[in-house]
Amino acid sequence: MHLLRFLTAGSVDDGKSTLIGRLLYDSKAVSHDILHAIERQTRNKANGEIDLSLLTDGLRAEREQGITIDVAYKYFHTPKRKFIIADAPGHIQYTRNMVTGASNSDLIIILIDARQGVVEQTHRHSLVAKLMGIPHLVVAINKMDLLGFDEQTYYRIAADYQRLMEKLGIENATFIPISALNGDNIVETSANMLWYEGPTILQHLETVEVENSQEHPELDARLPVQWVIRPGTDELHDYRGYAGSLRSGSLKTGDRIRVLPGGQISSIKSIEIGQQEIPEAHAPQAVVVQLEDDIDISRGDTLVLAQDYSPAVTQDLEADLCWMHERDLRVGDRYLLRHNSTSVRAVVKEIRHRVNVHTFEHEQVESLGLNDIAQVRLRTSKPIVFDAYQRNRATGGFILVNETSFDTVAAGMLHEWIAEPLAQADFAI
């Protein structure tokens, strides 16, 4: 059985929580005792029938204010697939939460209120989807019941959205007309919209080709070392295992590898999972690798195939940044940059521009505030080993950490790096 991780994006009144509640309820993922608790709360609020949104709003403040503040993770399965939902709030002040939920998602459902059509926040949600490189996009046009399930409205909104896709360079989307409140086209095909012949939300989730975000066979092997296993016992005196998760690609016994950023060459003696030797490992497996040669490798180093020159190794970075903290970012600020299994210091060299999340226009700014999205240039204290985020989500993302509070203050998506001929010569075999 495969796993699909998805995110829902919508605003307070778009029916996002209702949609998730409906998926959980109709796929029977909600236990009786939890339903009873919700019935009790719904009565407390005195607003009639069961409020499915209460299934997702877990914190006291959320229930009191009737809004989702934080990302919540929900789980359900059908006979075909297991699902993890990242339920993120839709309002602009929670863009960072949406970015967080998007970082691990294979699919995003963008909700549009059929009465409103494509609005400002649809622009922002779509920008985040594009920026975060989510492979699959579903546009769910909700509240069709309030418009008499009108076919023309649906097509008009879909056409509007396609113009937005062009603007952002989004290539594919699946459009589904729904009513989350009544369950139309959520699990069962709606009898109210016979003009729509596509899948329901659940049918689509169950069948969409999952190219799991961490399983790109065409990408080359990246194994950042997290931990070195040295038992130091008599019988395993010389054992040295490099433990880490294969972020992309695959490795097999006998492969010639190169250690980055150092550049040493060796070959793979064995690959193990749970002390069982396996001939070949694939992303995202967590493995232990032994090498033929005794070379100095520690946490933070990355193993790649010896003939693969595609990973960038540099201290000068260009990236899209989502700023996530109340205290603003300025040129010259210093942070800790965490990427794969390494942590280095970084300084902000330039804010190229901020992206207006509603018009996508580039704006010149002196500083970045909470929820801003911008393109920046950074320099790190040591070279880091990465791939451009839009090519490889597993090795192109980083976070910035405040050096004194240790708060996570930004998410970054690295851009392509053009290798200098000289730099590559340094790593020649």
Partner 1 sequence: MDYLDHLEAQAIHILREVAGQFERPALLFSGGKDSITLVKLAEKAFRPGKFPFPLVHIDTGHNFREVLEYRDQLAAQLGEKLIVRKVEDTIKRQRLQDGTGKFPSRNALQTYTLLETIEEFEFDACIGGARRDEEKARAKERIFSIRDEFGAWDPKRQRPELWDLYNGAIRKGENVRVFPISNWTELDVWNYIRREKIELPSIYFSHERECVLTPGGQLLAVTEHIHLDDTDTRVNRSVRFRTVGDATCTAAVESPATSLEDIIQEIIQTKISERGATRLDDRASEAAMEDRKKNGYF
Our CB check for partner 1 shows the closer of 59 and 194 to be 59
Site for partner 1 in 350-409 (CB under 8 A): 393-394, 397-399, 401, 405-408
Q: Binding residue for partner 1 (CB under 8 A) from 12, 50, 84, 147?
A: 84
For residue 186, CA distances in Å to 29, 118, 155, 198, 203 come to 15, 21, 19, 12, 8
Q: Binding residue for partner 1 (CB under 8 A) from 11, 17, 18, 97?
A: 97
Site for partner 1 in 98-127 (CB under 8 A): 99-100, 103-104
27 lines the binding site for partner 1 (CB under 8 A): no
78 lines the binding site for partner 1 (CB under 8 A): no
Least separation in angstroms between residue 271's CB and partner 1 is 13
Least separation in angstroms between residue 51's CB and partner 1 is 13
Q: Cα–chain-centroid distance for residue 157?
A: 26
When computed from its CA atoms, the radius of gyration of the chain, rounded to whole angstroms, is: 24
Least separation in angstroms between residue 109's CB and partner 1 is 18
Q: What single-letter DSSP state applies at residue 12?
A: T
226 lines the binding site for partner 1 (CB under 8 A): yes
Query: Would you say 149 and 112 are in contact if contact means Cβ atoms under 8 Å apart?
Result: no
Least separation in angstroms between residue 293's CB and partner 1 is 20
Q: What single-letter DSSP state applies at residue 30?
A: S
138 lines the binding site for partner 1 (CB under 8 A): no
10 Å CB burial of residue 309 (0-12, 13-18, 19+) is: middle
263 in helix, strand or coil? Answer: coil
Least separation in angstroms between residue 181's CB and partner 1 is 21
Residue 327 exposure: Cα atoms within 13 Å on the Cβ side: 10
275 lines the binding site for partner 1 (CB under 8 A): yes
Q: Binding residue for partner 1 (CB under 8 A) from 13, 217, 227, 307?
A: 227
Neighbours of 87 (CB within 10 A): 26
Phi and psi angles of residue 202, each rounded to the nearest 5 degrees, phi first: -65, -40
Least separation in angstroms between residue 330's CB and partner 1 is 20
Site for partner 1 in 410-429 (CB under 8 A): 411
Residue 206 exposure: Cα atoms within 13 Å on the Cβ side: 15
10 Å CB burial of residue 166 (0-12, 13-18, 19+) is: exposed
Q: Binding residue for partner 1 (CB under 8 A) from 130, 284, 309, 331?
A: 284
Count of residues touching partner 1 (by CB under 8 A): 70
Our CB check for partner 1 shows the closer of 259 and 411 to be 411
Site for partner 1 in 297-326 (CB under 8 A): 299, 324
Our CB check for partner 1 shows the closer of 165 and 243 to be 243
Query: Would you say 253 and 280 are in contact if contact means Cβ atoms under 8 Å apart?
Result: yes
Residue of 228, 229, 176 lying closest to 200 (CA atoms) = 176
Query: Would you say 358 and 123 are in contact if contact means Cβ atoms under 8 Å apart?
Result: yes
Q: Binding residue for partner 1 (CB under 8 A) from 80, 282, 352, 379?
A: 282
69 lines the binding site for partner 1 (CB under 8 A): yes
Least separation in angstroms between residue 240's CB and partner 1 is 10
Q: What single-letter DSSP state applies at residue 415?
A: P
Least separation in angstroms between residue 84's CB and partner 1 is 6
Q: Where are the alpha helices (DSSP H) in 46-119?
A: 60-65, 95-103
Our CB check for partner 1 shows the closer of 85 and 173 to be 85
Residue of 281, 277, 271, 275 lying closest to 249 (CA atoms) = 281
Least separation in angstroms between residue 75's CB and partner 1 is 5
Our CB check for partner 1 shows the closer of 19 and 112 to be 19
State how far the Cα of 341 lies from the Cα of 126, in Å rounded to an integer: 30
Our CB check for partner 1 shows the closer of 72 and 157 to be 72
Strand 276-277 with 302-305, pairing: unpaired
Neighbours of 411 (CB within 10 A): 23
> Which run of H or E residues covers position 352?
strand 342-355
Q: What share of the chain is helix, strand, coil (3-state, %, to 5)?
A: 20, 35, 45
Q: Binding residue for partner 1 (CB under 8 A) from 46, 47, 48, 60?
A: 60
Least separation in angstroms between residue 95's CB and partner 1 is 11
- Which span sits near partner 1 by CB under 8 A: 45-53, 113-121, 123-131, 271-279? 271-279
Binding positions for partner 1, rule: CB under 8 A: 1-3, 31-34, 37, 41, 56-61, 63, 69-75, 77, 82, 84, 96-97, 99-100, 103-104, 212, 215, 226-227, 229-231, 236, 239, 241, 243-245, 273-275, 282, 284-286, 299, 324, 336, 338-341, 393-394, 397-399, 401, 405-408, 411
